[in-house]
Amino acid sequence: EIVLTQSPGTLSLSPGERATLSCRASQSFSSMYLAWYQQKPGQAPRLLIYSASNRATGIPDRFSGSGSGTDFTLTISRLEPEDFAVYYCQQCGSSLRDTFGQGTKLEFK
């Protein structure tokens, strides 16, 4: 099983600032199978990024993803008030043994 470790656990920033979230895997896998989700309180998760760097439908271009192998990054270029939420990375490989990271909470500073 691939273990995903997200850092930091909590990120305190202000609107307009840049956010950089990290997701590190216990073993290398194809970037085709790395996704990022946003979850707000009381809501289901929403897909932001798939295949490490592709934005999902309707996702603003201030969200970007990068990385390969074992190290992946979600960047939010200029934070908007609605971006404060919890973010999860996921590996969704062909073996049907998916895993999620433990999440990064992005909070107002």
Partner 1 sequence: EVQLVESGGGLVQPGRSLRLSCAASDFTFDDYAMHWVRQAPGKGLEWVSGISWNSGRIGYADSVQGRFTISRDNAKNSLYLQMNSLRAEDTALYYCAKDMGSGDNRGAFDIWGQGTMVTVSS
**Residues engaged in binding partner 1 (CB under 8 A):** 1, 33, 35, 37, 39, 44-47, 50-51, 56-57, 86, 88, 90, 92-103
Nearest approach, Cβ of 96 to partner 1 (angstroms)? 3
Nearest approach, Cβ of 46 to partner 1 (angstroms)? 8
Q: Which residue has the tokens 């500073």?
A: 109
Nearer to partner 1, 41 or 81 (CB): 41
Residue 51 identity? S
Residues 85 and 77 sit within 8 Å (Cβ to Cβ): no
Nearer to partner 1, 16 or 44 (CB): 44
Nearest approach, Cβ of 32 to partner 1 (angstroms)? 8
Nearer to partner 1, 14 or 94 (CB): 94
Burial grade of 80 (CB within 10 A; 0-12, 13-18, 19 or more): exposed
Nearer to partner 1, 81 or 98 (CB): 98
- Total residue count of the chain as it appears in this document: 109
Token readout for 77 is 């270029």
Residue 83 phi, psi (nearest 5): -85, -10
